[in-house]
A and B are shown apart, each in its own frame.
Chain A
Amino acid sequence: MLLKLFPSSNKTMKIKVSVYRYNSAYQSRPKYDSFTIPYHQGMTVLDAILFIYKHLDSTLAFRYECRQGICGTCGVMLNRKPVLSCSTQINPKIKKNIIEPLANFPVEKDLVVNLKPLLKKYLKIKPYIEKIKKKIITKDIANKSKPYRKCIECGCCIAGMEITKTSKGCLDPMSLVKIARYLTDPRDGLNRKPIAKELGVKYYSEEIGRRISKSCPRGIPIDEVIKLVK
């Protein structure tokens, strides 16, 4: 059976993973379940999750769609770092890999986070092109906003930031990226810097940005974003 699923695993090396469990409907006490699963070379976090769901626990809640690292729905914490589960490999040398829902989000169930509060906040920055001006777009102009247009709204940046007392409730990095995306688009007619200011961009330094960038699976330079938005 296992060989059929993972044809490359001739030797059935086993690994241990610990998975966060919670059900907001019952406000159950959060806990971690341990699973021992067969490892195969190149195994991703999503492979591990799917194996557990298919063979060990059918109640496990998680999201995935594309397996291509592009839809942005499968973000989780792997050993306390935000990753896209479909494009991140499990390290078999770690004694126990820990899989948790994205940090800094309310958890709905297990690995599924509730995105509603984030999206509600997101609307405040008007995450769309406004007061469109007609402009010819050249390659240079298109390339200015291109790095920020790569955002897939996966939430990894939010999960990867340290939230302190001063930063609590202020603008999140995903919103900052969107603001940068429209600041670098000459067609956008909205004055976006005051919005960012009002929502607390001052909390961010380029140094913080550099740290958050490490969580972005799309490699968006968040320090550049902060420089731009400030």
Chain B
Amino acid sequence: MRYRTIKTEILVIGAGGAGLRAAIEAKKSGLEIILLGKEVLGCAHTGMAMGGMNAAMVLPATPGFHAKITLEGGYFINNYKLVNIFTEEIPARIHDLENYGVIFDRVDSGEFYTWAGPKQKYPLNICVGDYTGREMMQGLVDQARKIGIKYSDEFFISRLLKKDNCIIGAIGINLKTSDFVVFQTKAIILATGGAGRMYEVTTNAASNTGDGYAMALDVGAELIDMEMVQFHPTGMAYPPSSRGVLVTEKTRSHGGILRNQKGERFMSKYYPIEMEVAKRDEVSRSIFQEVAAGLGTKNHAVYLHVNHWSKEKILEIIPDVYEQYINVGVDISKEPMEVYPSMHHIMGGIKINQWAQSNIQGLYACCEVASGIHGANRLGGNSIAEGQVFGRRAGMDATKYVKKIKYSTLSRENIQKEIARINQYVKNTKGIPPQEIEDQLKKVMWNKVGIFRDEKRLKEAKIIVSKLLREAKNMRARTNIRQRNRDLQDCLEVNNMLQTAQVVIEAALLRKESRGAHSRTDFPEMKDEWEKNIMVKKEGEKIVTKVIPVVK
């Protein structure tokens, strides 16, 4: 099978906020770099971030305070070193973004407009309306165009290539044509985001299929905290096409009120002090329990009211939420929204150090595909912020690293093996279409690896996912068309979601306590001896786990 080989010093995989930031930084060195994304440039999941991002821009908030609440919010299994770097550096990254064109909302004096998310005694959230992520993406894309970053969008990397313990290349297909391309490279920065699509209900974009986790596991990278899956308390519950779509935390933080079907402000039962602005894991559990107790609406949801606000306030604070509901026939200035938790973020990921290096030489990871900043629960506003800090750091360090090493020769055999794996999906005439496996996976993850977990259901999930993994070996793309073969893409993505699901379940089974986003009904207490991280990696086909101390 023919393929094209492209040589580049640094390959950045993923063109969301972190990938773009890494590319912008790496480009400064003048080295040859290429940025790849699965979607059209600018359309990545980062753009879906609504409410804001955290940075100590306005006193009395300080980086120290930001670090303190990030650690508390993460139930103390965050990497303290990374948290401190993150909170110290993010204010400078905000100024970078403004230099790329972004304008964060201001107050009359010219100071940043800030609002207080959960735990924020001093407000840290800066924003652009309720479409902060989109404006941030626009700034980053503008900057990438300005400095002429080479990119290829609608491109899928399916496997990383390594020799000894070093990254030497990657292989993938152009989604427009199904042509194979091999990259010979000295360093790879993974910024591939999360894996929301493996859950039935998610806030995530369609591209979030755990590609980075799967590819990193494949080359022997260590991942931590994979059991920590965040459910955002408020996703749209109705109609079916909008199920899971994000309703920003900014809504509750500005006085949005949650009520059950009887009209009771039920948060008073669970968190009477914090009420609606309790942490995400806390509010998600409360809504889950309320609906499970039969106090939900007929759409299996609770109400979120802003209809006591003035319409001007709604249009200023949450214009896109207003629009989202208008599109489905609900005027939130007159009636309440129906909301239910929606899978939102994976706190776990590739274990990195302060320069975003993984345990594989030349393999960097930043933002959601990496781990360590958020511990067991992420504070709203910390994700798109994190990507700016560690995207830049990955870009900086990768440029230093690649200057020291030479290109390695790629093994033709390994390349042909991967090409054969991909072609097999198209050649298979029997076997299951990827969508069928995906639907089953989504159900298992939502029902058995969700907000509340227990050993029995996790074990059932493990068995089902293993079965799906076996079946996935014979997945079949329903068409062999080369132009825009979405089925082929689905096959590759479903495989990556399954690999990700497998390690999430493995880690969730091992953590026999409840902490943050990981709630075990059979182990409801948080235990001191579990103030640890769970590391997972693959040795051949086998998953190996290890409990390791938190980096302080």
Tell me whether A128 and B142 are in contact in the complex, defined as CB-CB below 8 angstroms, given that A59-B481, A61-B483, A69-B327 are known contacts: yes
The reply to whether the CB of B474 lies closer than 8 angstroms to some CB of chain A is no
With contact pairs A53-B486, A61-B483, A137-B103 given, residues A71 and B329 touching in the complex (Cβ less than 8 Å): no
In the complex, A149 Cα to B129 Cα: how many Å?
A: 11
A109 touches which of B39, B138, B239, B483 (Cβ 8 Å): B483
Residues of B within 8 A of A63 (CB): 39-40
Does A94 touch B at the CB level, under 8 Å?
A: no
Contacts of B531 in A (CB 8 A): none
Stretch of B2-10, B42-50, B304-312, B513-521 that contacts chain A: B42-50
Q: In the complex, which of the residues B106, B135, B176, B240 contacts A139, with contact meaning CB atoms closer than 8 Å?
A: B106
Q: In the complex, A41 Cα to B240 Cα: how many Å?
A: 9
Question: Are A68 and B245 in contact, CB atoms less than 8 angstroms apart?
Answer: yes
- In the complex, A127 has a CB within 8 A of chain B: yes
User: Does A54 sit at the interface, judged by CB under 8 A?
Assistant: yes
Q: How many residues of A contact B (CB 8 A)?
A: 61
Stretch in A42-50, A95-103, A200-208 with 4+ CB within 8 Å of B? A42-50
Is the CB of A167 closer than 8 A to any CB of chain B? no
How close is A174's CB to chain B, nearest CB, in angstroms? 12
For window 63-122 of chain A, which residues contact chain B by CB distance below 8 Å? 63-73, 86-89, 108-110, 112, 115
- B205–A65 CB distance below 8 A: yes
A-B contact count (CB 8 A): 157
Judge if B120 is at the interface, Cβ distance under 8 Å: no
Of the residues B101, B128, B133, B323, contact of A128 by C-beta under 8 Å:
B101
Closest beta carbon of chain B to A92's beta carbon, Å: 14
Q: Is B109 an interface residue (CB 8 A)?
A: yes
Q: Per a CB cutoff under 8 Å, which of B105, B245, B323, B435 touches A54?
A: B435
The reply on B246 being an interface residue by CB < 8 A is yes
B480: shortest Cβ distance to chain A, in Å?
10
- Chain B interface mostly: loop
Hey, what's the 0/1 contact readout for A25-37 against B, CB within 8 Å counting as 1? 1000000000000
Q: Which residue of A lies closest to B102 (CB)?
A: A149
How near does chain B come to A111, taking the closest CB pair, in angstroms? 10
A156 to chain B, nearest CB (A): 14
Q: Are A138 and B43 in contact (CB under 8 A)?
A: no
Most chain A beta-carbon contacts within 10 A, residue among B40, B135, B244: B40
Q: In the complex the two chains form, what is the Cα distance from A42 to B143 in whole Å?
A: 38
Q: Does any Cβ of B come within 8 Å of A18's Cβ?
A: no
Of listed A44, A61, A128, residue having the most chain B CB within 10 A: A128
**Residues in chain A near residue B329, CB distance under 8 A:** 42
Are the C-beta atoms of B239 and A71 separated by less than 8 Å?
Answer: no
On chain A, the residues within 8 Å of B244 by CB distance are 67
- A71/B142 in contact, CB under 8 A: no
B207 at the interface (CB under 8 A from A): yes
Q: Which 4 pairs across A and B sit closest by C-beta, in order of nearness?
A: A42-B239, A61-B484, A128-B142, A58-B478
Chain B residues proximal to chain A, CB less than 8 Å: 39-40, 42-45, 47-48, 99-101, 103-110, 113, 128-129, 131, 133-135, 138, 142-143, 145-146, 176-177, 205-207, 238-242, 244-246, 320, 323-324, 327-329, 433, 435, 477-479, 481-484, 486-487
